[in-house]
Structure 1
């Protein structure tokens, strides 16, 4: 495929298997049963303990399903430990009537549902039909990748085009139970997606980059407004749609990892128990300012200025730096973490983190990444 950065008007976008996207208050109660693949479908729910025990959401979905509810697994924890996945797989394997999996929650339940489907396929050649009800802005529902944590604490992943959920239900009523800090930090994760896809060398101009610009602008505008009124379901829905736009048009043709901020986030996340929304708060501003040194990346980043109510100067590298500064200011305005001071990560971990990101122990790339990692410490 032609490099989309060097020639934005010649490219390719290959859509995923997503069939439906519902959004708005109450769409789960109105549409869930119609989303099942056939009249005899049985659905298995994957979620976390907090949603299952501290909110009525899971019980509401169970009641909606009625006789089509095959069971609920609510032991999914942050970063999706593999032991929980294997336990859920055994439950599903023992019920041959299950053809659908419904994930309710943030990135961990959604990734877990995808990983369960993948592992089942390797054992039985069967893919599960996936309906997801996201309650954060992590946008895991938009990808064909599933991340989970191995027994040794290392985050790993699997990927296949069949892992993209078939149906997404963005119901703002479900988000009313999401803790505000979780919502806003995963909003930074969505911004991370939008910016890294914007300067990704194989991203398509249409629809990926154009929608990433729109998504980033919406996130900059509406995350602060959410803080002022966290029960405003119109604001919640706008942010859900921005989250989808940040990654939902990734397409099959985008090659390689999303970007350095994400790679740093994986190295910081499960090994040190830091949520991925928070890792984006820590890394994104630094990475954007670093990418401003790359002229091709800077050209893409600078395109964002009009979407965040700023005028371009004409110097794309200076303008890209300004975007990085705006990311820092947004994180601070939302009261989110700007460094690793609140986490048990000592400076002696700098070479460990750097090696995980680069796969090397020295060299130019190592030195560059080490400099970025050092900036995360107070």
Structure 2
């Protein structure tokens, strides 16, 4: 562990079938006005909306609703929510849904009392927070982003075709999050497996960096193996509680800062996918899957030993009779086979991209990288490979 770090996570997790029972006692810690933020109709279909409304009313809370938060939340929606917060003097934003709803709630929390342009200040200039932050809490219905236990907020500014992520300090983390795996049972398979690759990508972005012996890498390998095992079970039986509970908790841990401690980290896959998402509005996990394989095949030689370790420790690739390069590529082949087994889309064309979009996506992609720094031309090559996969 050669890099210094400071770690803090103030989120209280209530996990399990009866976790919603904790909402009443948590609400007692906040003022009278609660903003209920959610997506479209899914929480109503599973009866969760009515349950939450009943608890809020029993707790004598004034309810302000912000509905219609989209899978890739827009800055326009953030502005709408911020106006509601100020107008109603909201004491707590309760996000009920998946990571997009929670990301949007956190964005609203930091934007509501910002006197400057929040987009420019917090997502472009990455300035420290200098205004009041409204507390956020969450009830999770989709496992993938880990937003329920971190300060991350990914927002799409449609006006400028830019999708930007910002990991805010721990003060922006949800104060508490309620995680009942049963809330994920009704998700379509497409959304479930998209979330599965999302959580895997979060782990791989941290993993493929550094060359020293870092405890974090061992944690990541274990989580990846757990996700792979549980994903295969959940694909066959979406209502297997043990598998879905393992996936839900793995997602929370995968994008918890804990899994990046003492790591330089990469995040190039996310930077490329963010722009794919800005142009196509595709499911985030599917976009990550499409970009990951051509990206890793492009850079693996620059981090060869780690890709060899990934193949052996995560995918059980036999090393006898193989060169390091062959082992590394076998590991990436195993990753691709896993996506096929789960029904994860790895073709950008299927995700709504057009050939005309690709140069624009490449030109607007932020270059990060760990083992290898890409050029814009190399990003375009990766996109072209993903387009024809």
CA distance in 2, matches of 1:301, 1:14: 30
SS of equivalent residue, structure 1 residue 376: helix
**Pick aligned residue for 2:103 from 94, 111, 121:** 111
- Note if 1:125 corresponds to 2:131: yes
Q: CA deviation at 1:341?
A: 3.0
**Pick aligned residue for 1:74 from 43, 47, 67:** 67
CA distance in 2, matches of 1:252, 1:325: 25
- Name the CA shift for 1:270/1:205 in 2 (closer, same or farther; >3 Å): same
CA distance in 1, matches of 2:260, 2:344: 33
RMSD value, Cα: 2.9
Aligned residues: 364
CA distance in 1, matches of 2:65, 2:242: 30
Aligned position for 1:54: 45
Deviations 1:242-297 (A, max 9, x none): 112212134797788742211111010121121111102211222232332113x6
Aligned position for 1:247: 255
- Note if 1:372 corresponds to 2:379: no
CA distance in 2, matches of 1:246, 1:316: 27
Q: Which moved more, 1:105-114 or 1:47-56?
A: 47-56
CA distance in 2, matches of 1:364, 1:194: 21
CA distance in 2, matches of 1:125, 1:358: 27
Q: Which structure 1 segments of 5+ residues have no match?
A: 1-8
Aligned position for 1:215: 223
Aligned position for 1:6: none
**Pick aligned residue for 2:154 from 133, 147, 151:** 147
Aligned position for 2:188: 179
Aligned position for 2:7: 15
SS of equivalent residue, structure 1 residue 101: strand
| Preserved CA contact (<8 Å) 2:312 2:319 | yes
CA distance in 1, matches of 2:214, 2:177: 24
| Preserved CA contact (<8 Å) 1:187 1:277 | yes
- Name the CA shift for 1:203/1:225 in 2 (closer, same or farther; >3 Å): farther
| Preserved CA contact (<8 Å) 1:197 1:203 | no
Deviations 1:276-325 (A, max 9, x none): 11102211222232332113x64266246334344455855443322221
| Preserved CA contact (<8 Å) 1:73 1:88 | yes
Deviations 1:321-348 (A, max 9, x none): 2222122111111122121232442223
**Pick aligned residue for 2:177 from 163, 168, 178:** 168
Q: CA deviation at 1:134?
A: 2.1
CA distance in 2, matches of 1:258, 1:219: 21
- Name the CA shift for 1:358/1:150 in 2 (closer, same or farther; >3 Å): closer
Normalised by the length of structure 1, the TM-score is 0.86
Normalised by the length of structure 2, the TM-score is 0.84
CA distance in 1, matches of 2:213, 2:194: 27
Aligned position for 2:197: 188
CA distance in 1, matches of 2:366, 2:31: 49
CA distance in 2, matches of 1:27, 1:154: 37
Q: CA deviation at 1:197?
A: 0.9
Aligned position for 1:299: 306
| Preserved CA contact (<8 Å) 1:220 1:308 | no
Aligned position for 1:102: 94
- Name the CA shift for 1:368/1:99 in 2 (closer, same or farther; >3 Å): same
CA distance in 2, matches of 1:329, 1:273: 25
- Name the CA shift for 1:159/1:192 in 2 (closer, same or farther; >3 Å): closer
- Name the CA shift for 1:202/1:72 in 2 (closer, same or farther; >3 Å): farther
- Note if 1:33 corresponds to 2:1: no
Deviations 1:70-97 (A, max 9, x none): 222112112112222222222221222x
- Name the CA shift for 1:334/1:253 in 2 (closer, same or farther; >3 Å): closer
Q: CA deviation at 1:370?
A: 2.1
Deviations 1:148-180 (A, max 9, x none): 122413223444202222222221121123222
- Name the CA shift for 1:252/1:234 in 2 (closer, same or farther; >3 Å): closer
